[in-house]
A and B are shown apart, each in its own frame.
Chain A
Amino acid sequence: QQPVQSPQAVILREGEDAVINCSSSKALYSVHWYRQKHGEAPVFLMILLKGGEQKGHDKISASFNEKKQQSSLYLTASQLSYSGTYFCGTPSGSGYALNFGKGTSLLVTP
């Protein structure tokens, strides 16, 4: 039930754009995105809810295709501070915890 993320890793130059994808084999009512910098705790970015509601980061956007059970995270005009590992999470069977993907490592270079 672990969601699948792609790509596994991406390297960007500052100012370039990136898309990180997350897909699930089961129907979803929400998708969650977190970012973890090296040696630090994961930090919440956003939640996308069924029906189109989003809560979260004002400089990172995302989409949620309920029918395809997919979500994409859009990082535009990337900044050095965007570097880190991005995890998508989907509700577990109980709905109260999250199953996370293996992560996408993003490195933004000057």
Chain B
Amino acid sequence: GAGVSQSPSNKVTEKGKDVELRCDPISGHTALYWYRQRLGQGLEFLIYFQGNSAPDKSGLPSDRFSAERTGESVSTLTIQRTQQEDSAVYLCASSLGGQGFTEAFFGQGTRLTVV
């Protein structure tokens, strides 16, 4: 596609439910990232995928958070037993190489509200 696509754009869920957030990166981009942005805050790194290498999960805040990526395509971020503090915008980005070296393209994000 033309850009990074995320779905859904908005998600309201009840506390304790599981949610899945989807990211379609730009075709050909080997690197994919998930970030969390709480209201009025900066971008908090969650997880990074690069090709077929083991993902860098160092930013995941708890074991309720997990993510998968199939090859160099779609990624899914799953949050289990959601809590109110999980409410945030979840942003996905992709790049041709590691983000430390090249520009990343962000999706519009999924706004998650846990009630």
- Measured CA separation A29–B44 after assembly (Å): 20
**Most chain B CB inside 10 Å of its own CB: which residue of A42, A89, A101:** A42
Size class of A's contact patch?
20 to 34
Q: Which of A55, A93, A100 contacts B58 (CB 8 A)?
A: A93
0/1 per residue, A1-16, Cβ < 8 Å to B? 0100000000000000
Give the docked Cα–Cα distance between A98 and B56 (Å). Answer: 12
Tell whether, in the assembled complex, residue A44 and residue B42 are in contact, meaning their CB atoms are under 8 Å apart: no
Q: Do residues B45 and A97 form an inter-chain contact, with CB atoms below 8 A?
A: yes
Q: Are A42 and B42 in contact (CB under 8 A)?
A: no
Q: Inter-chain contact count A-B, CB under 8 Å?
A: 74
Residue B33 at the chain A interface, CB threshold 8 Å:
yes
Quick check: A98 and B99 within 8 Å, CB to CB? yes
Report the separation of the CA atoms of residues A55 and B103 in the bound assembly, to the nearest whole angstrom.
9
Is B31 located at the chain interface by the 8 A CB criterion?
yes
Known: A89-B43, A96-B56, A99-B45. 13 other contacts (CB 8 A): A41-B91, A41-B109, A43-B106, A92-B100, A95-B100, A97-B33, A97-B59, A97-B98, A100-B44, A100-B45, A102-B41, A102-B42, A103-B41
Q: List 22 A-B contacts (CB under 8 A).
A: A29-B100, A30-B100, A32-B99, A43-B106, A44-B104, A47-B102, A87-B42, A89-B99, A91-B99, A93-B58, A94-B48, A94-B56, A95-B98, A96-B50, A96-B98, A97-B33, A97-B48, A97-B56, A97-B59, A97-B99, A98-B100, A101-B42
